[in-house]
Amino acid sequence: MIGGGLAGCEAAFKAAEADTRVTLVEMKPHQFSPAHHSPLLAELVCSNSFRAGNVENAVGLLKEEMRRLSSIIMAVAVETAVPAGRSLAVDREKFATEVTDRISGHKNIRIIHKEVRHLPQEGTTVLATGPLTSDALAEDMEGLLGEEHLHFYDAIAPLVTLESIDFSRAFYASRYEPEEGDYINCPMTREEYEVFFQALTTAQQVPLKPFETPKFFEGCLPVEVMAERGFQTLLFGPMKPVGLIDPTTGQRPFAVVQLRKDNTEGTIYNMVGFQTKLAYEEQERVFRLIPGLRQAEFVRLGSIHRNTFINGPRVLTPYVQFARAEHVFVAGQISGVEGYVESAAMGLLCGINAARLAHGQALAAPPRTTALGSLVAHITASASRDFQPMNVNFGLFPPLEGRVAKKERGAAYARRALADLDKWITEVIMG
């Protein structure tokens, strides 16, 4: 196991519990990433929250699935919890200390403190070096994957649910091909664009951290940076209206925001070219000024931050191994998920499969209907052309059968997921 963060600890503990001898290699305390400061394992680099607790919420459901799979991170989080309403938050020092003690005290785990600079050529390996993987190892991975499949920054545009788009103000069409429905277009009049432009150029941005000095590529500029260049810039960039006719007016709109399918099911759409560093609440305020998105439900807001991650759908097998090096499983944030819980969840799965590989058993893939299975589908089979890391959300799940009222959906997803997970645990994991 390379990396002793949330994913690496989860993977190490899971594999060790399955009677596998594990060596966990962690570069701290000899070397720290710019965001890590504690010598302990499982350090929480920022917030102390593991987010919502109830299973009607996708992250709450993921946590319940992890509990049923005997996650060490979930067990210790509950033991070291601090009051946080409906969320699960922890005393970060107690949490990291307890995880460190359990890992270092495990009879099957040996810990080595050093930087791994090259991927091992053989031996079952779990790569869990996180969003701030050391430079030497990242360079080595570039050699294996090709530089186009390893990213160092998120440049994320917001995602909205299909059902929250107002089709009285939006229409399907591809540029110059009105009969093609690949894009959803949100047209704007000049007056609407002026209001939007004013809001966008005066909205509050998130300041960069000292170690985050992204060189924005011209093709990937934050939308607000483009807008600052002048009133016309967006009209010749992501908001250009050429080749589009609004069927309601029969005219070419003054400006257009285009949305493109972001998952195979077509339940989530991304705002094309709208990568942004605006503060989250500002994004919701400003982007809801777009007619067609006034009631938008954002399943992910935009961001640009330092984050090493792989282009999973191009380089991973369905069991989250490198296709070019199947002895290496990839866990945690570097695999293309986002967030503490999601990172640990991928560690759990990789720990299960690393042990199975070591014991000569068939690898296991969680049911597609579970939160874990939906994350795996995102990182190994996402249809998005511009793959970006993602928090777990119900938009990643296969749609429910039949019509289910909106307020019942979370519970319905959870019922289906937990029933399928229990069956999988009995038949595959324990079987």
Ligand X SMILES: Cc1cc2nc3c(=O)[nH]c(=O)nc-3n(C[C@H](O)[C@H](O)[C@H](O)COP(=O)(O)OP(=O)(O)OC[C@H]3O[C@@H](n4cnc5c(N)ncnc54)[C@H](O)[C@@H]3O)c2cc1C
Q: Which residues bind ligand X (CB under 6 A)?
A: 2-8, 25-28, 33, 35-36, 45-47, 115-116, 128-134, 137, 332-334, 339-340, 343
Taking residue 218's Cβ as centre, other Cβ atoms within 10 Å add up to 6
Beta bridge partners of 278: 205
Shortest distance, position 114 Cβ to ligand X, whole Å: 7
By beta carbon distance, the residue nearest ligand X is: 5
Shortest distance, position 331 Cβ to ligand X, whole Å: 7
**Residue among 119 and 425 whose Cβ is closer to ligand X:** 119
Instruction: Give the C-alpha separation, 206 to 407, whole Å.
Output: 33
**Residue among 116 and 286 whose Cβ is closer to ligand X:** 116
Q: Which amino acid is at 252?
A: R
**Residue among 137 and 348 whose Cβ is closer to ligand X:** 137
Shortest distance, position 254 Cβ to ligand X, whole Å: 39
| Ramachandran quadrant class, 404 (left: phi over 0; alpha: psi -120 to 50; beta: rest) | beta
Token couple for 386: 């511009």
**Residue among 133 and 276 whose Cβ is closer to ligand X:** 133
**Residue among 96 and 414 whose Cβ is closer to ligand X:** 96
Contacts of 362 (CB under 8 A, 6+ apart): 356
Angle at 151 between CA 146 and CA 154, to 5 degrees: 160
Instruction: Give the C-alpha separation, 31 to 21, whole Å.
Output: 25
Shortest distance, position 38 Cβ to ligand X, whole Å: 9
Shortest distance, position 389 Cβ to ligand X, whole Å: 9
DSSP secondary structure string for all residues of 183-232: EEEEEE-HHHHHHHHHHHHHSPBPPPPTT------GGG--HHHHHHT-TT
**Residue among 261 and 300 whose Cβ is closer to ligand X:** 300
Token couple for 122: 């053989």
Shortest distance, position 8 Cβ to ligand X, whole Å: 6
**Residue among 11 and 186 whose Cβ is closer to ligand X:** 11
Contacts of 418 (CB under 8 A, 6+ apart): 55, 61, 64, 65, 68, 370
**Residue among 130 and 312 whose Cβ is closer to ligand X:** 130
3-state secondary structure of 356: helix
Shortest distance, position 7 Cβ to ligand X, whole Å: 3
**Residue among 33 and 380 whose Cβ is closer to ligand X:** 33
Check residue 3 and report its DSSP letter: -
**Angle of the 190-202 helix axis to the 280-287 helix axis, nearest 10:** 170
Shortest distance, position 330 Cβ to ligand X, whole Å: 10
Contacts of 273 (CB under 8 A, 6+ apart): 157, 223, 237, 238, 239, 258
C-alpha distance across the termini of the chain, in Å: 25
**Angle of the 92-104 helix axis to the 6-17 helix axis, nearest 10:** 40
Token couple for 137: 């190892």
Shortest distance, position 16 Cβ to ligand X, whole Å: 17
